[in-house]
Amino acid sequence: MTDAPAIDPARSALLVMDYQLSVVGMIDDADALLGRAASAVAAARAAGMTVGYVRVAFDDQDYAAIPDTNKTFSALAGGRRLHDTDPGTTIDPRVAPGPGDIIVRKVRVGAFSTTDLDEQLRARGITTLILAGISTSGVVLSTVRAAADMDYRLYVLEDACADRDTVVHEALTQRVFPRQCYVISTGDLPALLPPA
């Protein structure tokens, strides 16, 4: 069991980040990862918590706006990958959004970059975020850093995050993230929520 503080569902949101078909397909043992993420979504919904989804996808104007100085995204734009109409940018149906969920589309790494996510969360009175995402070294790292600077209380669901480099995943979840957030497992989450 973790020593993390209890979570107030009314002021918290679970963010499911980049769990889209083309990204999930790059992860080893994706079925187990999706099962753990789905259990976290179910626990959040049962507690009445806000659930939010972040996906990366581009339209033609987004590609045109990416400068050559951006190493990662200029290569992506050149190949016109992750177009908004590409079925691979769809959120995996095993963790699909439901009515009333927050859904944002981004065109950079972090969940807050190029989105109105912060405004949507603040409008709902959210002060605590629980993060699940692919990849740990991408969207999760960028979102932890930004959200900490915005003074959110943070939890990272270590086993609902994944990275193609497992050494990097372990270094981030065991050594870097604990400085700014509580690192917990999906199994820990129900015990931190009020009894149903």
Amino acid present at 147: A
DSSP E strands in 27-167: the ranges are 50-56, 102-106, 128-133, 153-157
For 195, the token pair is: 């009894």
Domains (ranges, CATH) in the chain?
A: 10-191 (3.40.50.850)
Amino acid present at 184: I
Q: What is the pLDDT of residues 124-141, one digit of tens each?
A: 999 999 999 999 999 999
Contacts of 129 (CB under 8 A, 6+ apart): 12, 13, 14, 15, 121, 143, 147, 152, 153, 154, 155
Query: The whole model's pTM is what?
Result: 0.96
| Closest CA relative to residue 54, chosen from 137, 118, 128 | 118
Q: What is the pLDDT of residues 18-71, one digit of tens each?
A: 999 999 999 989 999 999 999 999 999 999 999 999 999 999 999 999 999 999
